[in-house]
Amino acid sequence: MITPTYMLVGIYTLLGQAAAVGVVGTAPGFAASTTGGGSATPGYPADIAELTTWLTDDVARVIVLNKEYNFIGSEGSVTETGCRPASNTCPDNGGQDAINHADWCTNGNAGTGSTDIEVTYDAAGVTPINLGSNKSIIGVGSAGVIKGKGLRIANGAENVIIQNIHITDLNPQYIWGGDAITVAGSDLVWIDHCKISLIGRQMFVAGTTASNRLTISNTEFDGVTTNSATCDGHHYWAIYLLGSNDLVTMKGNYIHHTSGRSPKMGGNTLLHAVNNYFYANTGHAFDIETGAYVVAEGNVFQNVVTPLLAKVGSLFASPSTAANTVCNTYLGHDCQVNTFGSSGTFVGTDTGFLSDFSGKTIATAAAASADIATSAGVGLI
Query: What does the DSSP 8-state code read for residue 349?
Result: B
Contact in structure between 327 and 333 (CB atoms under 8 Å): yes
Q: For the residues 63-67, what does the mean pLDDT come to? A: 98
Instruction: Fill in the amino acid letter for 312.
Output: V
Which residue ranges make up each domain of the chain? 101-375
Q: Which of 242, 249, 186 is nearest to 217 (CA)?
A: 249
pLDDT at 10 over 70: no
Q: Is the peptide bond before 263 cis (omega within 30 degrees of 0)?
A: yes
pLDDT of residue 17: 45
pLDDT of residue 20: 60
Helices (H) and strands (E) counted in the chain, each on its own, are 4, 29
> Residue 16 is inside which H or E element, if any?
helix 4-20
pLDDT at 279 over 70: yes
Beta partners for residue 281, in sequence order? 304
Residue 14 burial by Cβ neighbours in a 10 Å radius (0-12, 13-18, 19+): exposed
CATH match of 101-375 with 3.20.20.70:
no
pLDDT of residue 18: 42
**Tens digits of residue pLDDT in 152-197:** 999 999 999 999 999 999 999 999 999 999 999 999 999 999 999 9
pLDDT of residue 292: 96
Alpha-carbon distance of 118 to 83, in angstroms, equals 7
Q: Tell me what percent of the residues of the chain surpass a pLDDT of 70.
A: 95
pLDDT at 8 over 90: no
Active site (catalytic) residues: 261
pLDDT of residue 23: 98
pTM of the model: 0.95
